[in-house]
Amino acid sequence: MLSLPMIMDKIVTLTLNPALDVATRVHAVAPEIKLRCQAANFDPGGGGINVSRAIRFLGGESTAVYAAGGHNGAMIQQLLDAESIRNRAVPIAGITRQSFVVYEESTTLQYRFNMPGPDLSADEWIACLEALFDLEPAYIVASGSLPAGVPLEFYGEITRYARQYDIRVIVDTAGEALHRSFGTGVFLMKPNLRELELFAGEKLQDEAHIKTVARRLIAEGLSDVLVVSMGAAGAALVTADRYLHQRAPVVKVGSKVGAGDSMVAGLVLRLAQGAPLEDALRYGVAAGSAAVMSPGTQLCQKRDVDRLYQEMAAATES
Ligand SMILES: Nc1ncnc2c1ncn2[C@@H]1O[C@H](COP(=O)(O)OP(=O)(O)OP(=O)(O)O)[C@@H](O)[C@H]1O
Ligand SMILES: [Mg+2]
């Protein structure tokens, strides 16, 4: 029997602001009247949790560390357990939020309602940090927004500490939390193009421009590796001395929900298996594109990811 390398168990994702994702369908959204929706579907959600779920769908292992409060927090734990995803819920006093997605059948449009989530006390976010480092990860995926009460330097502080123990930190966030991670030793940063533009404070006109700005940010200490995702255009991987652009395969768009998180899952899974950067990039793009193919709120499916990955690999070799 094939024995899997131990390192596969060493990915830990962190979600400070998870959500119980509630999805339903309705013929048409309209004001004032009672909308007859279909039975709801419940999924555990939030940046890091989505990454852990996508890793599981890809046949890998990770542990999801997350703050959890109230009945929504308890349900997230139940759902993760049911999917056999190792997880550590850090109890909090506040009530974990729900996110609400409504698919309108008459237009095929998806309406996404996101609520802010509870504040965390200092004791609570410190407990999350303890749970995280207690697991002795090789890779930490810090993903999503920071709830109120958590210092904006949080991801940066995780990174500084992790760096001392050779733990690689992957950060997928935007805005101030991204700014405050700058120069702390992040291994891999995964902004999308718009997030990178906001961060750089300029509109990125073309590939040459992206390359110049990305190189400058890396030289200034943003991260060792920068993966800029560009939707249907795929993603660029930039390091101090390399620039690689992996085009995304053309796929029929089901729903864009989960593209970014699935991409991060593909990237970190391959990296934790010891794959080279270009291979991890290709697998990440395949996972992102597979998530786009799947309908509703579904993340990527392994058979789609593997097929897209093989096709991209073949196209590169030919
Ligand atoms: N229309 C598309 N066709 C094919 N692949 C796509 C498309 N949109 C996204 N992808 C794939 O998903 C990856 C991530 O997408 P994107 O750049 O939109 O991330 P994101 O903005 O972080 O997503 P999210 O909104 O989920 O956070 C892309 O690099 C690509 O591989
Ligand atoms: Mg994203």
Q: What is the pLDDT of residues 177-209, one digit of tens each?
A: 898 999 899 999 999 999 999 999 999 989 999
Domain assignment of residue 28, yes or no: no
Q: What token pair was written down for 10?
A: 């060493």
Residue 200 maps to which CATH number? Answer: 3.40.1190.20
Q: pLDDT value at position 1?
A: 44
> Which residue has the CA at smallest separation from atom 12 of ligand 1?
288
User: What's the mean pLDDT in 126-144?
Assistant: 96
Active site residues: 261
Domain assignment of residue 249, yes or no: yes
Domain assignment of residue 94, yes or no: no
Domain assignment of residue 97, yes or no: no
Cα–Cα distance for residue pair 236/189, rounded to 1 Å? 12
Domain assignment of residue 37, yes or no: no
| Ligand 1 pocket mutation, candidates 256, 257, 283, 311, criterion most atoms within 8 A of CB | 256
Looking at all shown ligands, the one closest to residue 256's CA atom is: 1
Q: pLDDT digit string (tens) for 68-126?
A: 999 999 999 999 999 999 999 999 999 999 999 999 999 999 999 999 999 999 999 99
CB distance 172 to 143 below 8 Å: yes
Domain assignment of residue 36, yes or no: no
Domain count, the chain: 1
Domain assignment of residue 104, yes or no: no
Cα–Cα distance for residue pair 133/138, rounded to 1 Å? 10
Domain region containing 237: 7-17+47-89+121-312
Within the chain, what is the greatest distance between any pair of CA atoms?
Answer: 60
Distance 12 CA to ligand 1 centre (A): 23
Distance 261 CA to ligand 1 centre (A): 9
Cα–Cα distance for residue pair 223/41, rounded to 1 Å? 38
Q: Which residue has the tokens 């390359």?
A: 211
Could you write out the DSSP letters of every residue in 142-204? EESPPPTTS-TTHHHHHHHHHHHTT-EEEEE--HHHHHTTTTS--SEE--BHHHHHHHHTS--
Q: What token pair was written down for 82?
A: 């049911």
Contacts of 303 (CB under 8 A, 6+ apart): none
Domain assignment of residue 220, yes or no: yes
